[in-house]
Amino acid sequence: MKKIDEYQGKKVLVMGFGISGINAAHLLVKLGANVTANDKATPKNNDIVDDLEADGIKVITGDNPISLANEGFDVVVKNPGIPYDNPLVAAFVKQGTPIITEAELGWQIFDGHLVSVTGSNGKTTTTTLTQLMIAENAKHQVKYAGNIGISFSKIAEDLGPDDTLVTELSSFQLLGAPTIHPHIAIITNIFYNHLDYHKTRENYINAKLNITRNQTKDDFLVINWDRDEWQKIAQRSQATIVPFSRLNKSHEGSYVEDGMIYWRGQEVMPTKDIRLIGPQNVENALAAIAAAKLSGVTNDAIKKVLTTFSGVRHRLQYVMEYQERLFYNDSKSTDIEATEVALQGFDRPVILLAGGLDRGYTFERLVPYFKKHVKAMIVFGECKDKMKDAGNQAGVPVVESENAITAVPEAWKLSEPGDVILLSPANASWDQFPSFEVRGDKFIEAVEELTGKKEQ
């Protein structure tokens, strides 16, 4: 951990009691700040409040009182999910109070080698693969943190100048990270996400580009080269561009040609040996390979990771095989693009479990994928009628169910040996579950109850 004094004696407000907010509050105390912690909700677990107060932190819960804007705070550390049109946040913006996220605080105390990953889809898998690859050859610590569910600042506290940290960063986090400066930045892709928060696509793109804002030609931006738009976005960076591509050959980075992965013209491994399925995971692997090779990782280390890693939970996660049916949990597929690529990963008939809370669109785009890959559909949630319409257009049998749990036995009834039973909702979970993680966990529990087996 790097010693800094910029918070010594400063008055700091931490908004939000998530993992990152709680860790940020305790860290700020160590850095000499006078800390107030505020959450709109009242925590069900009193230990959270007790621990904060025991560290000398003033705690305010149950509201975001606008009066806090008049208490002379020097800095606000905001939970990334709290929008900027929140009345209290908007008041701080109006008066010019600096507003950062915990990712910025983590960067400020980090003293090692930083690799950061952002994008619409594939962030967590790419982050995990990159960390595993670098760790295979490393003589020092290699950790991951960030939007992957582990506090950036908490991990940064325990790392030194020779250590490496691979961070997953969301657009929400990057908006409040003005000085972050990874040596290697990765942009996996950019689709149409979070426009309810960012308001426009250009705002969303700009937030993502904060990952490379402070990079120079001595740093590297690893970016997907498979769309013209992404190639144009790369031109807005001052870093050395390192493309990765599943569709376009580029000797400047990692790419696929005739079923073989190459790094700058040199063979690395066949794509068929990657244990993760689907074209999106080939792209994730290519991104991780580029970052790993820039970090000096050997081909043998890369092969070891890619031939053994079976996936991140809820992201096209293999659950089990039972009576010649394969079960996959892809609950993280909360948009159309993610379900498109999931379906393309299978050469077996798919029983698709899909539905939830849509983002205001219909699902005609999925019709060609349903026709080619899907044997039957189980639909649920607020958008089940829209999903059913798309299934009917594709000529696929559709069964309605209550949710992702009740859909499991319905899917089993329709399945035969050789089929894949896939949860890939193409929608958010919030109509029925608090998060995609809970939805995926409940799906796995339903599979375990059906089969009498534990996930593998």
Angle, CA of 447, 450 and 451, to the nearest 5°: 85
Please give the Cα distance from 252 to 293 (Å, whole number). 12
Answer yes or no: is 21 a known binding residue: no
Answer yes or no: is 122 a known binding residue: yes
Angle, CA of 298, 282 and 234, to the nearest 5°: 85
Please give the Cα distance from 307 to 292 (Å, whole number). 16
Answer yes or no: is 119 a known binding residue: yes
Please give the Cα distance from 244 to 226 (Å, whole number). 8
The pair of three-digit structure tokens given for residue 19, joined into one six-digit string: 């993992």
Angle, CA of 149, 164 and 210, to the nearest 5°: 65
- Distances from the Cα of 105 to the Cαs of 38, 86, 111, 187, in angstroms? 17, 21, 12, 22
Answer yes or no: is 120 a known binding residue: yes
- Pair 124, 149: CB distance under 8 Å: no
Q: Whole-angstrom distance between the N-terminal and C-terminal Cα of the chain?
A: 38
Please give the Cα distance from 412 to 371 (Å, whole number). 20
Please give the Cα distance from 399 to 354 (Å, whole number). 11
Answer yes or no: is 123 a known binding residue: yes
Which pairs count as long-range contacts for 271-274, CB under 8 Å and 24+ apart, including other chains? 273/303, 273/306, 273/307, 274/306, 274/307
Answer yes or no: is 9 a known binding residue: no
Q: Under 8 Å CB-to-CB from 47, ≥6 apart: which residues?
A: none
Q: Under 8 Å CB-to-CB from 313, ≥6 apart: which residues?
A: 329, 437, 440
Q: Under 8 Å CB-to-CB from 177, ≥6 apart: which residues?
A: 100, 101, 103, 104, 107, 169, 210
**Location of structure tokens 């009576």:** 323
Please give the Cα distance from 65 to 91 (Å, whole number). 11
The pair of three-digit structure tokens given for residue 381, joined into one six-digit string: 């949630």
- In the chain, the amino acid numbered 147 is N
The distance from CA 164 to its chain's CA centroid, rounded to whole angstroms, is 19
Please give the Cα distance from 30 to 50 (Å, whole number). 17
Answer yes or no: is 381 a known binding residue: no
Annotated binding residues: 119-125
Q: Which residues are annotated as a binding site for ATP?
A: 119-125
